[in-house]
Structure 1
Amino acid sequence: MKDREIELIHKAQKGDSFAFEQLISSYDRQVLSLAYSIVGNSDDAQDIYQEALISAYKALPKFRMQSDFFTWLYRIAVNKAINFKRKKLQYQVESITKPDSDSYGSDHDLRISSSETPEEVTIQKEMKDIIEEAVLLLSTQERMAFVLCHQQGYKLHEAAELMDCTLGTVKSYLFRSREKLKVHLKPYMEN
Structure 2
Amino acid sequence: MHSFITSGSPLIFAFHGTGGDEHQFVTLVRDLWPGAGLVAPRGEVSEHGANRFFRRSGEGRYDMADLAVRTDRMVEFVRTHRTPGVPAYAFGYSNGANILASMSFAVPDLFDGIALLHPLIPFTPPEQAGLAGQRVLITAGRHDPICPRPLTDALAGYYRRQNADVTLHLHDGGHEIRAAEIDALRTAFKE
Structure with greater strand percent:
2
Structure with greater helix percent:
1
The structure that has the greater radius of gyration is: 1
| TM-score past 0.5 threshold | no
Q: Report 1 or 2 for greater relative contact order, CA contacts < 8 Å, sequence distance ≥ 6.
A: 1
TM-score by length of 1: 0.30
